[in-house]
Amino acid sequence: MNIKEIQNDIDNDKRVLIVCNTIKKAQEVFEQIECPKKIMLHSAFNVNDRKCIEQEIIESETKNDNEKNQVLIGTQAIEVSLDLDYDCCYSEIASIDALIQRFGRVFRNRKRAKGEYGIVNVFLEADDATKLIYNEKNEDFISRTRQELFFLDNKPLDYQSICDAVDKVFPESYGNLIEKIVVEKLELRTKRPSGGLKKQRERLYSLTLKGF
């Protein structure tokens, strides 16, 4: 991850979500980021500590902007259950379904002005741990995801483009299941029914890829 680039957004008062694929990487990034209002969440915390951290994160989301946690650094633990709303996201590459979950923590609960959208950034390099987590036997989901991300780079991400990417990354049966989950998550995020996912053209995010 390019810490200097991430730090620049932090220094410009953006609320930044950073998602790593391993606890070790999250810990490394946490130590490198300079911010008095940063917090880390991953699965290695014991149950009580994790509940306390999650509660702190949830309570922070209800505060005024200048009182909220500015930076959240975490792993897959932040992909579910937490109702977050950050200005931008930096993520290691993961399978497309995991990335969508991470993107959903950006511009989640706010009223967006016309032409306003969340900024999401994905670092393309995949280490051995990432491949072990997200690939399956005879299925290289990371390479397929990377291929789709190249197509989406610097383009507006709307409902249709997101689901088209899911269809291309996963086998049909699995892709249908993932797409159903995506529909439900995006409907929840926008607080309204999709009305047919592929008919929606609303710009949700703008994706920028970061090189190897």
pLDDT tens track for 7-61: 999 999 999 999 999 999 999 999 999 999 999 999 899 999 999 999 999 899 8
- What 192-198 contacts at long range (C-beta under 8 Å, 24+ apart), as own/partner pairs, is 194/159, 197/159, 197/160, 197/163, 198/159, 198/160, 198/163
* Closest residue by Cα to residue 189 from 114, 86, 91: 86
Q: What is the pLDDT of residue 113?
A: 73
pLDDT at 174: 61
Strands (E), 87-198: 88-92, 118-123, 156-157
Judge whether residue 187 has pLDDT over 80: no
- 137 band by pLDDT with thresholds 50, 70 and 90: confident
Could you give the percent of the chain with pLDDT greater than 70?
A: 83
Which pLDDT belongs to residue 23? 95
Q: Please, which pLDDT band fits residue 131 given cuts at 50, 70 and 90?
A: very high
Model confidence band, residue 85 (pLDDT cutoffs 50, 70, 90): confident
For the chain, give the mean pLDDT. Answer: 83
The beta-strand segments (E) located in the chain are: 16-19, 38-41, 71-74, 88-92, 118-123, 156-157, 205-210
CATH code given to domain 3-157+205-210: 3.40.50.300
Which pLDDT band holds residue 190 (cuts at 50, 70, 90)? very low
Burial of 140 (0-12, 13-18, 19+ CB in 10 A): middle
Task: Give the domain ranges of the chain.
Answer: 3-157+205-210
The pLDDT value recorded for residue 46 is 93
- Of 56-65, 93-102, 154-163, the range with the lowest mean pLDDT is 154-163
